[in-house]
Structure 1
């Protein structure tokens, strides 16, 4: 479906790595077996080429999709290239999927031949979003599935899937402001139903935490901004922070996931980058009355926030963000994050919509016209600043004040 309403929303889902991964996972998750052995030719093609594109293909993938009733798994070890044929067949010889262009043709043929894509459900979207968020990594290059989905031919082949999801009423809330009547905070490491409610952080403590975070971020930048660090190749730069928000400094909340049988767990407990804990306790969060909430709906909103409240992290984030974006701040220009202690002077909270996350997380976001630490736009030679949204979650609101 392609209407004036769905086209810009479909563009949101295609704009970033996390959105494209949702589309790819939804498409392969909806596939029905079509070849004679009962396998899944589209999933097999995706897995084969994604494995070839994976910069760390020698490691066993953390997340695999079973593509047949046998022992084959897409992206498992790359030993079985597999073959597939488009439906309908375009030649007598099945096409061997060895390039992104071949996968794009298989996707286009499968969508044209039918059956139609199933209507999105809370369960199918839960699975696709979970796989996408779990694959967000800032300390290494994008995996093969992200690389495949980013290829222009595959991206365009996924457009009908984006339009299908954007047209569904099940995803309407992905573009919405926070539901202030249904906000829940999460405390990790506890799962018993009788646990105490999630403790709040008083406004005075939030302000102090944010000041400390900004000061520590500046101090780290000064430590990294030394002669030896500037001379190192980006792949040899020491690791450091990769998250863009002051995690654990302020309360966070999200609505509950709207499951088919009614609301389930809070969204922020279901979809976690770099998940390190499974047990959690959720408690209702009551937002302050008449809160000033800034909406981050995509890369442009994030860039505007960095431009208005810049905090330079050119050298302290260089090593990590080079891995995920391929951009070296030594040559390309400074890295910025928002100075959250300053943001809190203007806004009570910042909310990252689901599509804001899908469109903008794990990608390089240009910040034209930003003023760096020296008080001038960009760096020597007029290089442009940039930023990354890392460590955030879809539909999460960060309560700054």
Structure 2
């Protein structure tokens, strides 16, 4: 089935991917997005401060110059509609995808560029580019299921080896106890007002389980909330068993519907900040999900369509895919192990630079 570009624009990460591509292809669009994004950012003047050095008459700054090009949202939309995307390449798309992943955040309001990309006029203007992205060579793997042979990433150099996480059932059991205890504490200690300056655990999956990716070096650059690692060791793994593929937002909400775990008190404030929704929240009860599935894989398209949105589970209840990297498989049982083949050492010169395999 041929997907239409509209599916990329369903979610904030897909829209940001397209906006990043547009900025890469046209410098005037980059300038307009910079200024409009600043104006729309919730942290304007506080967490996001603009420093200008503009001289006017008698040394007074010219306010019009200091506020940028003066491009309006409608003018940006017109520029996006007229954008020439014939030079689109796989490398350009990958870099834009990495920037979209890197700018995801679930503990505070979306940045101004995400807000800008969600405006109806801008979103509509991004549709031709989104169509072009899905037709581009090199993105077909975005909808692929989990490969049997993958890579687990250890963010340490190859001369500091570490065993893969084991006893995943036990880790899930510990997670379940801790998650329920945290929810109970939050219900007692945290205010109901979603605007209260409170933050906590915002991920929607258990930390500490074994995770694997299917593509290198792509998987090294597609990491949410990364710590800016410059070295990594890729460990070849082979997994068997039943895998649930999250290709669409509906795949995720159905999982939450079948195995719901209440997290309203512990997620209320963070997820209100990122989605603007106030209400009941659930995530999958991963212990229960493990009775049916050995692994859950989030495709790149599933991520771009669903991550960071308030996804409706039922009347009055929603969920968020948060903190889960695209093309990442999370293992719920011990059906995965290191397989034959050497571990690979990778490094990069700096944050935002390309990853290169170390001979």
Name the structure 2 match of 1:137.
105
Name the structure 1 match of 2:6.
11
Structure 2: tracts of 5 or more residues without a match? 50-63, 334-359
Q: CA RMSD in A?
A: 2.0
**Counterpart pick for 1:323 among 262, 266, 273:** 273
1:389 and 2:321 matched: yes
**Counterpart pick for 1:255 among 214, 221, 226:** 214
**Counterpart pick for 1:208 among 170, 178, 192:** 170
Please state how far the C-alpha of 1:363 moved relative to its aligned partner.
1.1
Please state how far the C-alpha of 1:306 moved relative to its aligned partner.
0.5
C-alpha change, 1:174 and 1:307, in structure 2 (3 Å) is same
1:148-181 deviation line (CA, Å, top 9, x unaligned): 0011111110001110010112110001112323
Please state how far the C-alpha of 1:45 moved relative to its aligned partner.
1.4
**Counterpart pick for 1:56 among 34, 38, 43:** 43
Q: Is the 8 A contact 1:253 1:285 kept in 2?
A: no
Please state how far the C-alpha of 1:59 moved relative to its aligned partner.
4.4
1:288-330 deviation line (CA, Å, top 9, x unaligned): 33x211000121111001111110001111111111011122x
Instruction: Quote the Cα distance in structure 2 between the aligned partners of 1:17 and 1:11.
Output: 12
1:282 and 2:236 matched: no
**Counterpart pick for 1:117 among 63, 86, 102:** 86
Q: Is the 8 A contact 1:237 1:318 kept in 2?
A: no
Please state how far the C-alpha of 1:79 moved relative to its aligned partner.
6.8
C-alpha change, 1:43 and 1:386, in structure 2 (3 Å) is same
Q: Is the 8 A contact 1:107 1:157 kept in 2?
A: yes
**Counterpart pick for 1:338 among 278, 284, 287:** 284
Instruction: Quote the Cα distance in structure 1 between the aligned partners of 2:228 and 2:207.
Output: 15
**Counterpart pick for 2:67 among 66, 72, 81:** 81
Matched ranges for 1:171-320 at <5 A: 171-181=139-149, 183-188=150-155, 190-191=156-157, 193-196=158-161, 198-202=162-166, 205-226=167-188, 229-230=190-191, 232-236=192-196, 238-248=198-208, 250-257=209-216, 265=217, 267=219, 269-289=220-240, 291-320=241-270
Q: Is the 8 A contact 2:154 2:235 kept in 1?
A: no
Name the structure 2 match of 1:97.
71
Q: Is the 8 A contact 2:152 2:237 kept in 1?
A: no
Please state how far the C-alpha of 1:351 moved relative to its aligned partner.
0.3
- Total equivalences in the alignment: 319
Please state how far the C-alpha of 1:61 moved relative to its aligned partner.
5.2
Instruction: Quote the Cα distance in structure 2 between the aligned partners of 1:316 and 1:146.
Output: 25
Q: Is the 8 A contact 2:146 2:243 kept in 1?
A: no
Please state how far the C-alpha of 1:283 moved relative to its aligned partner.
3.1
**Counterpart pick for 2:21 among 22, 26, 29:** 26
Please state how far the C-alpha of 1:253 moved relative to its aligned partner.
0.6
Instruction: Quote the Cα distance in structure 2 between the aligned partners of 1:161 and 1:101.
Output: 17
Please state how far the C-alpha of 1:217 moved relative to its aligned partner.
0.7
Name the structure 2 match of 1:89.
none
Q: Is the 8 A contact 1:307 1:367 kept in 2?
A: yes
C-alpha change, 1:350 and 1:130, in structure 2 (3 Å) is same
1:216-269 deviation line (CA, Å, top 9, x unaligned): 11111111113x645x42121521100011011x21110223xxxxxxx250x2
Secondary structure of the residue that 1:335 maps to in structure 2?
A: strand
Q: Which moved more, 1:338-347 or 1:279-288?
A: 279-288
Name the structure 2 match of 1:65.
none
Please state how far the C-alpha of 1:106 moved relative to its aligned partner.
2.2
Q: Is the 8 A contact 1:21 1:145 kept in 2?
A: yes
Q: Is the 8 A contact 2:148 2:239 kept in 1?
A: no
Please state how far the C-alpha of 1:273 moved relative to its aligned partner.
1.4
